[in-house]
Amino acid sequence: MQIHLGSLINELQLRLRHVHTMLAGSLVGPSEPPMDSFSKPIVERRERLHDHGATWINCGRDVTTKVYMGLVSCDSVGRPLLQNMKQFNGEYGCGFCRHSGCIVAKGQGYSRSYAQSVAGLPEERNHAQMLQHAETALHSGSVEFGIRVLASYHLCLNFSDGHL
């Protein structure tokens, strides 16, 4: 498994953003890593840069720049690892709603489907619920609505909707 975390500076001109992408972390191994060992130091550093900023010198003047997390982008396999929740094909594995899904026959096997029911749309997940479910999961030792434990990224100050 490979995980690479990149950062870019949003204030750069669009044509320069991808030229000046910075590698913030890289993890390569034979299996899924404990994600907090990878993400927690990055989130803690980002929190310090958000609260206090980084001071640098520009034309003889001290400038303090603060860092904000605007977006986390990952594939469908990496997303539940970062969120510490079940994968998209597990019960309550949808990262956007609290639909449990149902097992349906597909080809020669089975698949989990999150089809809309006649009762309407399922309840959407929100940040407060994600935190509550993580707390319950931590104390009970079991998965709560697909959430295993609190993920480091859920603690980011300006990352309030809980979605990756």
**pLDDT tens, per residue, the chain with 164 residues:** 667 777 777 778 888 887 888 777 777 778 777 777 777 888 888 888 888 988 989 999 999 988 877 667 777 777 788 788 888 888 988 888 888 888 889 899 988 887 777 777 888 888 888 888 988 998 998 999 999 887 776 666 444 444 44
Residue pointed to by tokens 């982008």: 73
Specify the pLDDT at position 102: 84
Cα→Cα distances 101→67, 73, 107, 146, Å = 38, 24, 18, 11
The predicted pLDDT at position 157 comes to 47
pLDDT for position 163: 44
CB proximity list for 23: less than 8 A, separation 6 or greater = 4, 5, 6, 7
Three-state DSSP class for 13? coil
Q: Which pLDDT belongs to residue 164?
A: 41
pTM score, whole prediction: 0.66
Look at residue 162 in the predicted model and tell me its pLDDT.
43
- Confidence at residue 158, expressed as pLDDT on a 0 to 100 scale: 47
2-6 own/partner pairs: CB under 8 Å, 24+ apart: 2/26, 2/27, 2/28, 3/27, 3/28, 3/33, 3/38, 3/78, 3/81, 5/42
